[in-house]
Structure 1
Amino acid sequence: MAEQKFEARAVQKHLRKSPRKVRLVVDIVRGEKVNRALKKLEFINKATAPDVAKVIKSAAANIRDKFQEERLENEDLYIKEIYVDEGATLKRIQPAPMGRAHPINKRSCHITVVVAKKEEELV
């Protein structure tokens, strides 16, 4: 039988925030341990920080649920992958002078987090 991979994922779809702005927050916590990433997100002064923290907590809960026989704590888990994809764009128009119209793009994004168990290094 193949080795068991201790990893789980969580996805937040159609978040009504610009992917460019969410990527600023996601880049800060990429590769961190889960508890350290959540602590960093508490102190980041960006509107998307709570949304990113929510997805990370969901991924950590998913791995605990998936492997209930293992005792997995946040100290044992790290963020293996985290990325932001562009979602659907709502296209609106703003009336402008002289009968013109300016376009307004209301962007959305999808956040994907993959959490895995930290393997012990052999010294």
Structure 2
Amino acid sequence: MGNVIKSQVGAQALGKNVRVSVTKMQRIIDRIRNCSYEEALVLLEFMPYRACYPVSQLVLSAAANASNNLGLNKSDLFVSKAWVDNSKYLRRFRPRAQGRGYPIKKPTCKVTIQLSSKSIEK
């Protein structure tokens, strides 16, 4: 009945407390989801966002986990799942008038990248 593409369980990498807001990270994650491993690295290298560097490090880490722990070939990997969650806020205080302090909340996020291997069955 033709070729069936079967997705196997892959490896993942988790980045905690990445100092980027969720909305800025989400536009990068949406772009690389369902891309191949090589295509995701090229996209992350040439996108003009500061948040691309931590995501590229996570993709490289997930690929290393897949090749070392599961014995998968890096050329067969693709980004099967990728998501971003809220994390803690860094709380800072800015001095204001009349001795008051104004809170500054600096957002962080958790990023999870999961790579899977494509295998073709006949």
TM-score (norm: length of structure 1): 0.84
User: Runs (4+) of structure 1 moved beyond 4 Å?
Assistant: none
Q: Which of the numbers 41, 49, 68 marks the counterpart of 1:46?
A: 49
The residue aligned with 1:27 is 30
Note if contact 1:6-1:63 (Cα within 8 Å) is conserved in structure 2: no
Q: Could you say which structure has the greater relative contact order, defined with CA pairs below 8 angstroms and 6 or more residues apart?
A: 2
> 1:16, 1:45 → 2: CA distance?
17
Indicate whether 1:91 and 2:91 are aligned: yes
**Structure 2 match to 1:15:** 18
Percentage of identical aligned residues: 30
Aligned length in residues: 116
Distance 2:90 2:51 in 1: 19
Which has more strand, going by share of residues?
2
- RMSD of the TM alignment (CA)? 1.9
> How far did 1:27 drift?
1.1
Q: Which runs of 5+ in 2 are unaligned?
A: 1-7
Question: How far does residue 107 in structure 1 lie from its aligned partner after superposition?
Answer: 1.3
Unaligned runs of 5+ in 1: none
